[in-house]
Structure 1
Amino acid sequence: MIGTQDPPAQPVVRLDSVSRLYGGSKNRVTALDNVSISLERGTFTAVMGPSGSGKSTFLHCAAGLDRPTSGSVHLDGVDIGSLREKALTKFRRERIGFVFQAFNLLPALNVVDNVTLPLRLAGARPKKAVVDQVLEQVGLSGKRRSRPGELSGGQQQRVALARALVTNPAVIFGDEPTGALDTRTAAEVLALLRQSVDVVGQTIVMVTHDPVAAAYADRVVFLADGRIIGALERPTVDQITEQMQKLGTWGDPFAIQQTGHEVRR
């Protein structure tokens, strides 16, 4: 029957010709340079590059923490550049989750209260079933009443992940989420991120310098001098390390396999 085909899925994150400049005319720095990329729902994307390549600026613009100098950012179908500050804050709180290297937990609050803080800030009453589900998902069902000071670093990062998941966000952005963890604990947190993509269809965008962490992603996008210079699909740790070494020594960064800007499941 004509007209019964589903429309093509809209990317959950889309950057169109995004540039971000800092400083004045005499000391201008181009942190992002005409970046365009689309990320589909239910995918895990790692963003890598040398120091100063624009990784953090990319994350901040994509997540609405910083406004581009030019270009547009659409997140979950919304042009976030068109939102006033109050509306943007509300949108971030309701539709975006964040997991940082610093756990950013409130020491006086227990696990449940830290996890439900975004909901309460939004004026919503946390549903016990939802809270129970995310705590079970991150393996903290037995730590509900513990305070951050009573938890290991890995457990604190699990609380931060549960806090990001509890609002059922369109995207979770991670900025070096395992940077403060030992190797074994980092692997546990990365496995939870991977599981949230595979099991519940979460979308994750993670900035990292660690090839082992990046190998958990479906796709690794490489930045240099504020530009996307290539990507690898489902790469191994060795492949990622090789490309980062090329970038670090400024060999031929364009040797990275060019695979286009669409992330595929």
Structure 2
Amino acid sequence: MTEVAERASGNPVTGPDEVLRLEAVRRVYGGSKRGVVALDGVSLGLERGSFTAVMGPSGSGKSTLLHCAAGLERPTSGTVRLDGEDLGSLSERALTRLRRDRIGFVFQAFNLLPALTVVDNVTLPLRLAGRKPERGAVEDVLERVGLADRRGHRPAELSGGQQQRVAIARALVTRPAVIFGDEPTGALDTGNARDVLGLLREVVAEAGRTVVMVTHDPVAAAYADRVVFLSDGRIAGSLNRPTPERVAAWMTRLRNEPVPSANGTAANTETMRELW
């Protein structure tokens, strides 16, 4: 597919093995008459075992897309399906259980509890779900993220990159269908960011997980298989086999050629709701 063809595609094509599907998702804040449109009829499919980056100018709806896809917010209209299950049909309790069991999260701010050790932070989602952590599974994820020798340390005793590795291990321990990252390298220096991105790439290639990452960084986006671009709450197109240069060129064009939304406005929310 050429870059021109990718740019013209409002609904990026995926294969039949979709783990996540958003169909005509619309999210409006503030009511239907004078509301602000954050997502304006987004349709998107994510293949199992893929790494997708989501990018766009400020206010394009990136975080809102992630929140709706992860079941943190309910769309105003449209559907979100995880492994074929309609998230909109679930009660709040069932949705919370689904997030604990089948979705992993990695945030810019790490969201670790300072009083807990590495191993206790990693196993927290399991304990909150009333499940006893399997020792072998916990050791496996700690080994995968390179922290097997730090299991008894607390966050204050770790570097920023190591703390983010703890967050990734926490996301992996439940063997989720999808891992969502909201600017996961935003608080890291270049070296630690590269290590964390390499780990996410490894999680996809070796563990077969699906990763969706919101980022503003073209270098980070280039670790993905595909970049999906948003503008004013709509999909402006997608880019396969991205490089930092091609991603940066796309972002420059999007800033100069915004995609109009239904009412000419777009916004997103930066506040992540409580997960557990």
Aligned with 1:40 (options 47, 51, 76) = 47
The equivalent residue for 1:242 is: 249
1:21 to 18, 25, 28: 28
Residue 67 of structure 1 is aligned with which of 74, 77, 81?
74
Gaps in structure 1 of 5+ consecutive residues:
1-7, 254-265
Question: Which residue number corresponds to residue 51 of structure 1?
Answer: 58
- Residues of 2 paired with 1:82 and 1:58: CA distance? 18
Structure 1 residue 78: Cα displacement: 1.1
User: Aligned residue for 1:219?
Assistant: 226
Q: In the alignment, does 2:132 pair up with 1:125?
A: yes
The residue correspondences of 1:94-105 to structure 2 (distance < 5 A) are: 94-105=101-112
Is the CA contact 1:10–1:77 (under 8 Å) kept in the aligned structure 2? no
Tell me if structure 1 keeps the 8 A contact 2:52–2:227.
Answer: yes
- Deviation of the 1:247 alpha carbon: 1.3
CA–CA distance in structure 1, aligned partners of residues 177 and 258 of structure 2: 37
Q: 2:122 aligns with which of 115, 122, 132?
A: 115
2:156 aligned residue (149, 157, 171): 149
Counterpart contact for 2:107–2:182, Cα < 8 Å? yes
Distance in 2, matches of 1:37 and 1:210, equals: 21
The 5 Å alignment of 1:70-89 reads 70-89=77-96
Cα distance in 2 for partners of 1:135, 1:252 equals 43
Unaligned runs of 5+ in 2: 1-14, 261-276
After TM superposition, give the deviation of residue 250 of structure 1 in Å: 3.0
1:171-191 deviation digits (Å, cap 9, x = unpaired): 000000000000110000000
TM-score (norm 1): 0.90
Corresponding position of 2:203: 196
Amino acid at match of 2:88: G
Cα-to-partner distance string for 1:227-249 (whole Å, 9 max, x where unaligned): 00100001111000001111123
Q: CA deviation at 1:25?
A: 4.7
Shift, 1:109, TM fit: 0.4
The one-letter code matched in structure 1 to 2:49 is: G
1:28 Cα deviation from its structure 2 partner: 1.3
Task: Output the TM-score relative to the length of structure 2.
Answer: 0.87
> Could you say what secondary structure the match of 1:12 adopts?
strand
1:18-66 deviations in Å (ceiling 9; x for gaps):
1001113553111001110111100000000000000001000000000
Residue of structure 2 in register with 1:135 after alignment: 142
Q: AA paired with 2:137?
A: V
Asked if the contact 2:117–2:151 (Cα under 8 Å) also holds between the matched residues in 1, the reply is yes
Whichever residue aligns with residue 232 of structure 1, its letter is: L
In structure 2, do the counterparts of structure 1 residues 232 and 65 end up closer, same or farther at CA, with 3 Å as the change threshold?
same
Corresponding residue of 1:230: 237
Moved more, 107-116 or 75-84: 75-84
Q: Whole-Å Cα distance in 2 between the matches of residues 153 and 29 of structure 1?
A: 36
Contact 2:231–2:259 (8 Å) recurs in 1: no
| Greater relative contact order structure (CA < 8 Å, 6+ sep) | 2
Maintained 8 Å contact 1:16/1:35: yes
User: Contact conserved, 1:246 with 1:252, CA < 8 A, in 2?
Assistant: no
What is the root-mean-square deviation of aligned Cα atoms in Å? 1.4
The verdict on how the C-alpha distance between 1:45 and 1:62 changes in structure 2, with shifts beyond 3 A counting, is: same
